[in-house]
């Protein structure tokens, strides 16, 4: 029987309540209010760095993250204790969000690299008005930048979940695990390497149908490994 530790249980309850509220409170667009927007967006609010980690796009997104939280998080909470586990969870969730915002800004600045700095804000605001009227920029870079700022947003606990997985793989590299959709035992260290490669390759590919924040996943892994190294217990000799 799977044991669910206290902090993991409370995190699941909070995530489920946010998900229910998103669809139950019709008079407010909670998804838009609590999802993480670009800081240049008129919809950006400082609390979104926190609240986005408790929002999910659909029931499958929620179930996958909460299942992963139970399977990995409970083991780590038992080993670390509730306080350290919660600190780790929040630091990876919010750290990956800050990295996401930073790289999103660099991406926008790259797309608008030929635009004078003082004209960027008016252009992006104009892009929002054009999009509302069903029109697009003739320049694809301007269209992409306007979309990233005004319409692209991120939700989910994935940054924290992959951070927990990175910690688990660092501490127990030879522990065999199975993915839900690939029921074949794979050592945690190989699974983490695969996750890093997928995050990098899919992040650069930038497929139009792919709405996963691969950069958020990668930053969650890096932050998780950094914390494990900082706290001790991370030993590359275990990977042999």
* Domain coordinates in residue numbering, the chain: 6-239
Instruction: Return the bridge partners of 177, or none.
Output: 186
Write out the chain's pLDDT in tens, 240 residues: 568 899 999 999 999 999 998 888 766 678 888 988 888 788 888 899 889 999 988 898 899 889 889 989 998 999 899 999 999 999 999 988 888 888 888 877 777 776 766 666 666 666 656 555 555 555 567 777 777 777 778 888 888 998 998 898 888 888 877 665 556 777 888 887 877 787 777 665 555 444 566 677 788 888 888 888 887 655 555 555
Q: Kindly list the distances between the CA atom of residue 160 and the CA atoms of 88, 111, 131, in Å, as whole numbers in the listed order.
A: 8, 29, 33
155 vs 50: CA distance, rounded Å:
10
- pLDDT for 209 equals 45
- pLDDT for 89 equals 94
Contact 111, 144 (CB under 8 A): yes
Burial of 21 per CB tally in 10 Å (0-12, 13-18, 19+): middle
- CATH code of the domain made up of 6-239: 1.20.1540.10
pTM of the model: 0.81
* 212 DSSP 8-state letter: -
- pLDDT for 177 equals 77
């Amino acid at each position: 029987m799977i044991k669910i530790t206290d902090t993991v249980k409370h995190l699941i309850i909070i995530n489920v309540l946010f998900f229910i509220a998103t669809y139950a409170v019709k008079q407010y667009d909670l998804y838009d209010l609590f999802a993480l927007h670009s800081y240049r967006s008129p919809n950006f609010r400082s609390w979104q760095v926190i609240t986005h980690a408790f929002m999910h796009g659909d029931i499958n997104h929620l179930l996958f993250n909460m299942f992963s939280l139970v399977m990995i998080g409970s083991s780590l909470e038992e080993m670390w204790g509730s306080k350290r586990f919660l600190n780790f969870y929040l630091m990876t969730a919010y750290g990956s969000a800050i990295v996401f915002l930073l790289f999103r800004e660099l991406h926008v600045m790259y797309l608008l690299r030929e635009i004078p700095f003082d004209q960027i804000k008016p252009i992006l605001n104009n892009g929002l008005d054009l999009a509302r009227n069903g029109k697009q920029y003739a320049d694809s870079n301007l269209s992409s930048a306007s979309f990233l700022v005004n319409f692209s947003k991120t939700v989910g606990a994935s940054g924290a979940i992959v951070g927990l997985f990175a910690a688990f793989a660092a501490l127990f590299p030879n522990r065999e695990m199975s993915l839900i959709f690939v029921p074949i035992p794979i050592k945690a260290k190989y699974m983490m390497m695969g996750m890093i490669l997928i995050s990098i390759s899919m992040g650069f590919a930038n497929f139009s149908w792919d709405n996963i924040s691969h950069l958020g996943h990668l930053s969650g892994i890096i932050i998780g490994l950094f914390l494990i190294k900082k706290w001790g217990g991370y030993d590359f000799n275990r990977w042999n």
